Structure 1
Amino acid sequence: MGKNLPIGISSFVEIRSEPYYYVDKTHFVEKLASGGKYYFLSRPRRFGKSLFVDTLKQAFLGRKELFQGLYLEKNWDWSIRYPVIHIDFGGGEVKSAEALEKWILQQLEEHQNLYDITCKWKDDYHACFRELILKLSQKYASKVVVLVDEYDKPILDCIEDRETAKAVRDVLKNFYSVLKPLDAQLKFVFLTGVSKFSKVSLFSGLNQLRDITLSKEYSTICGYTQKELEKVFGEELQDKDLELIKCWYNGYSWLGEPVYNPFDVLLYLKERQFHPYWFETGTPSFLIKLLVEKKFYIPQLSELMASERLLGSFDVDFIEPENLLFQTGYLTIKGVEEIPTGYLYYLSYPNKEVRVSLNNYIVDYLTRKGPESARLTLKLTRALREGRVSAFGEVLKALFSGIPYEWYRSNEIAGYEGYYASVVYSFLEGAGFEVIPEDYTSLGRIDLTIIFEERCFIVEFKVVEMEGESPKAIEQLKEKGYHEKYRGKFKELYLLGFDFSKDTKNIVSFHWEKVT
């Protein structure tokens, strides 16, 4: 069966040429193939999805020589080969439904050439896909394997244009609908991408598709576990601080063991310095615009709750920040709780790279300060080390000054305390400070608690109607006694009160006191 299948060059071949850097995930190939038929997996970009899809491809093509020394070498039936249709939407950018149709037809034509098959439906992607599967099954007297990589990228390419995104979604829905009626001709189907679109919107006809995104048994299918990191890269890590590497690049979790971002690990080992390698490969502009549009309280990012339904209900017509933050890898699961209606997930930053980089991006977007915010970070850090607490007022006032008035007019979010708290929070998180938002005490809730070396700062924000009003923030701090929670736990304890004006869009009153 399938003895005369054509074979192409692949990224898997290139990776296997350097086995020292290959983490063996092939046991998942056998587990998937023996346990089911239709699968879907969502993971953030640059997490090894494409490599795993290619590993599946080479296994089903029967290329045993590529798996020497790996788990699959002795745990796979190499006497059987299957024709594989591998559709990859990751290599281009789609701007219209028409462009997507052409791209699909182009990939189907490449498969026809590869397998020496001619489809009569050359201008109908739906009919051509169906015909290709049927003819492959007939020619090789075999069932067919279908692998789709970056299944959702055409939609995400135009997500800011909702009407175009809907049209592209409809093309993909029609394309994937080919699969269900051809169950008898299919051996294995695997789709992967970044986002998890609801089955109703994209896979309404493929109800047998098993979503393994939050399956504990497949939680480490992409990324490196601690054991894998130390085993495969042990020699390279001999003189490295493993705890610091873990702090920077580990922490991603899908209800199982936390994993490292593989893209970060490989570049760190090459460059020998800590850097936000993964973060810089993408620009979360749409995400930040959505946060602003929803008036999202940015400090919530450090501890966010989301229902099972919310995490699995992404669609063009229903995009919520919690869902997008999780699926794109800016937040990950830190805990889960069973409730009567399902599960409640606790989300937070996976690691230092994401926490610092995302907040720097947010503060630059919210203030339009750009490189100046980095200089302000340095100024504040130096001042605090010298004991000059008054620098908080100077630096934060400079942070808010100069923001274009037009920005406020177009966003209309500067009239509530959450905006100012969000800017300050992101600025301090991006600077590497330890920040606790909405810090609960027996006496009430602290807006922000900031810990810097041996000093603790209790912060309150208030928005006043006009300049010249009596300070409200510092008075509330003294009245409520929030600082009692931290009395005696730090070398120095301070109260910081910030009053912001709706009119001037800046700090009009800053007062601080040292608790004795």
Structure 2
Amino acid sequence: MNKVISIGKQDFEQIRKKNYFYIDKTNYIQEWWESGDDVTLITRPRRFGKTLNMDMMKCFFSNQYIDRSDLFEGLSIWKNEQYRKLQGKYPVIFLTFADVKADNYDESKNSIIACINDAYQSHRYLLKSNLLTDGEKEIFRVLDEYVSNPEPTKTITNEVIFRAVKGLASCLNRYYGQKVIILLDEYDTPMQEAYVHGYWDEFTSFIRSFFNSTFKTNPYMERAIMTGITRVSKESIFSDLNNLTVITTTSERYADCFGFTEKEVFQALDDFDMGNKKKLVKTWYDGFTFGNQKDIYNPWSITNYLKEKQLRPYWAQTSSNGLINKLLQKSSPDIKEMMEELLNDRNIIVNFDEQIVFDQLEQNKNAIWSLMLASGYLKIQEIEYRGMLLTPWYHLCVTNLETMSMFYSMFQGWFHDDASNYNEFINALLNGNVKEMNAYMNDIALTTFSSFDAGKHPSGKTQPERFYHGFVLGLLVDLKERYEVKSNRESGYGRYDVMLIPTNKRDNAFILEFKVHDSEEEKKLQDTVQAALNQIEEKQYDAELLEQGIKKSQIRHYGFAFEGKKVLIDGN
């Protein structure tokens, strides 16, 4: 009989006690312990087992789980006699910032205080000893009252918060005569919230001091692990941590410790009598790469598929992807063009810093690739080192079909508020109804133009460019089955804006040219439209289509003229 698959359970003890489906990742314990690193930061995409692995670490090292061989018997770590002796030998402080999601600084800080209080309350037994000072006992009481009482009698200064974990470590060190292991899960969740909601500077100053006291100037700490999705730049919050080892998705270490390897996935499929689905599962869910370890699968989708036995974008549906959506929507035209390449199953080659500087995301256009790589939406096919300085250039592509579906949903969502008009515009375009095209496009532009505005004062040229490249991504998604959508490519004697090449060569092809009205050169918007249509003819943009065997009579030309949020379309 197959084991029960418990979706979303991150409690290692419960999984082992109830014999739920579990893929052995205890090799991570030995690999980390033998590294000898003081503080380890490991970044992996969401739903990749970070929290479960941290809970496993707690169960293995914490002296609150002493003599719990039942949790580890039969797993790889228990084959090593040395590690059997290590189980349950350290006091452990476990913190998680997974729920620190607030739209302002005060609420975020209060949520972190609540996380610290949870750690304190799990060690309340310390209050029964005579080893704690009155001041240390007071911290227990003040934290608990502050969190549980809507109107606490005492406030908590930042200095008390900064030193709270170090203070708890001091108490545990005195009580057990042993230094402490500190585990912090989802460390970067509040960072993203601070950036999105506009309190980044204030928050990073606070968290930098907290990390410094907890992880650097803490003589009671034996070792520590932090996990998260992104590698936030050292200058932002880790400037004082010279004892930090950072492991990203491009690092070799711990490559098979998070996520499922292909061998593990195929064995699970066999165990659940689904061995005939391996090729299908590989197409949908394979593709993640950590270091040189290829063919990594995300655990969330695999466990859901094993349970439900249906192909679905399980992992892609677990997040709103709000930050990436915002950055892509407002990104420059060349970023959107690269997204077109990715959606057409092609690679892009880009250079970026793996460190995320959140407050520079909108200024540094290439930072979006670092964020998408860390989030698991893109994978590295190859790293090419160029020049004397061996600057890394990354060959990136979409990870798999599931992540491709996530991008499709994202780009369709850009026109969601005016979805009916957008769909009707597509129909009018394909049917050659210029009057309806004008009506629908003006409504679309009116409601969505500002969504593509990258700044407070975009130039008259930049704003329509950002809009039309976003519009092209929408076209690509909606017409993918019928047309190849290309933009800004050479044909004839120039570069057209948009070309729709039919899959069925009996269907019509389309060339779209976009122009911004220039009041010094053109009296009316109609003149701008005519200039766009003339450019298509003069530059012989039809050449690429004619070379593919499409007849001249099947090629439709459309000129788009922009003046503010007003659009005029004409065709021939």
Is the contact between residue 40 and residue 224 of structure 2 (CA under 8 Å) also seen in structure 1?
Answer: yes
Decide which structure has greater helix share.
Answer: 2
1:117 alignment counterpart: 126
Take 2:312 and 2:100, find their aligned partners in 1: how far apart are those partners?
27
Q: Distance in 2 between matches of 1:290 and 1:396?
A: 28
Deviation at 1:417, TM superposition (A): 4.1
Select 2:446's aligned residue among 405, 421, 429. Answer: 405
CA offset digits 1:199-256 (Å, max 9, x no partner): 1111112122111112023333322222221012324362654333333222222333
Match of 1:335 in 2: 382
State the partner residue of 1:514: none
Partner secondary structure for residue 419 of structure 2: coil
| Identity within the alignment, % | 23
Q: What is residue 409 of structure 2 aligned with on the other side?
A: 360
Which residue type is aligned with residue 559 of structure 2?
A: D
Q: Return the offset for 1:346.
A: 2.4
SS in 2 for 1:217: coil
Structure 1 residues 84 and 436, CA gap change in structure 2 (3 angstroms): farther
Matched, 1:300 2:338: yes
Superposed displacement of residue 499, structure 1: 2.2
Alignment TM-score, normalising by the size of structure 1: 0.81
Give, in angstroms, the shift of residue 293 of structure 1.
Answer: 3.3
1:236, 1:392 → 2: CA distance? 54
Question: 1:446 & 1:250 partners in 2: Cα distance?
Answer: 36
Say if 1:476 and 1:344 are closer, same or farther in 2 by CA, change over 3 A. Answer: farther
Return closer, same or farther for 1:151/1:400 CA change in 2, 3 Å cut-off.
same
Whose Rg is larger? 2
Once residues 16 and 349 of structure 1 are traced to their aligned partners in structure 2, the CA distance between those partners, rounded to angstroms, is 35
Matched, 1:290 2:290: no
| Pairing of 1:381-420 with structure 2 (within 5 A) | 390=431, 400-403=441-444, 405=446, 407-408=448-449, 411=453, 415-420=463-468
Q: Classify the secondary structure of the residue corresponding to 1:348.
A: strand
CA distance in 1, matches of 2:490, 2:288: 27
User: Counterpart of 1:262?
Assistant: 299
Which residue number in structure 1 is paired with residue 237 of structure 2? 202
Aligned to 1:60: 61
Q: Structure 2 vs 1, CA of residues 502 and 372 (structure 1 numbering), >3 Å: closer, same or farther?
A: closer
Partner deviation per Cα, 1:38-82 (whole Å, 9 max, x = no partner): 211122222221111112212212543212222111135232311
Contact 1:144 1:185 in 2 (8 A): yes
Alpha-carbon offset, residue 354 of structure 1:
2.2
Distance 1:393 1:354 in 2: 35
Superposition deviation, residue 402 in structure 1: 2.3
**Structure 1, residues 149-191: CA drift from partner, whole Å, max 9, x if none?**
11011222232232x2322222221111024445653232111
Is the Cα contact below 8 Å between 1:459 and 1:497 reproduced in 2?
yes
Q: Give the direction of change, closer, same or farther, for the CA distance of 1:89–1:350 in structure 2 (3 Å limit).
A: same
Of residues 99-108 and 152-161 in structure 1, the stretch that sits farther from structure 2 once superposed is: 99-108
TM normalised by structure 2 equals: 0.74
Counterpart CA distance in 1 for 2:434 and 2:29 is 57
**Higher deviation after alignment, 265-274 or 452-461:** 452-461
Q: Which of 188, 198, 205 is equivalent to 1:152?
A: 188
In the TM superposition, residue 337 of structure 1 has moved relative to its aligned partner by 0.8
Cross-structure match for 1:6: none
Task: State the AA in 2 paired with 1:211.
Answer: V
Residue 12 of structure 1 pairs with residue 12 of structure 2:
yes
Aligned in 2, Cα 1:478/1:376: closer, same or farther, shift over 3 Å? same
- Corresponding position of 1:315: 358
* Counterparts of residues 35-50 of structure 1 (less than 5 Å): 35-37=35-37, 38-50=39-51
- Structure 1 residues 230-239 or 441-450, which shifts more? 441-450
Given the superposition, is the C-alpha separation of residues 259 and 86 from structure 1 closer, same or farther in structure 2, using an over 3 Å criterion?
same
Query: Who is 2:115 aligned against?
Result: 107
Match of 1:30 in 2: 30
Distance 1:326 1:261, change over 3 A: same
User: Cα gap change, 1:502/1:373 in structure 2, threshold over 3 Å: closer, same or farther?
Assistant: closer
**What CA distance in whole angstroms lies between the structure 2 residues aligned with 1:441 and 1:258?**
38
User: Aligned partners of 1:209 and 1:92: how far apart in 2?
Assistant: 23
CA distance in structure 2 between the aligned counterparts of 1:260 and 1:451, rounded to whole angstroms: 34
1:460 and 1:440 map into 2 onto residues whose CA distance is: 14
| Aligned 8 A contact 2:289 2:296 in 1 | yes
Q: Answer yes or no: is the 8 Å Cα contact 1:458–1:496 preserved in 2.
A: yes
Q: Quote how far apart the aligned CAs of 1:131 are.
A: 1.3
1:251 to 1:374, Cα distance in 2 relative to 1, 3 A: farther
- The root-mean-square deviation of aligned C-alpha atoms, in Å, is 3.8
| Matched length | 491
Aligned equivalents of 2:269, 2:553: Cα separation in 1: 44
Deviations 1:425-472 (A, max 9, x none): 333235554656666789876756767655596855432633351524
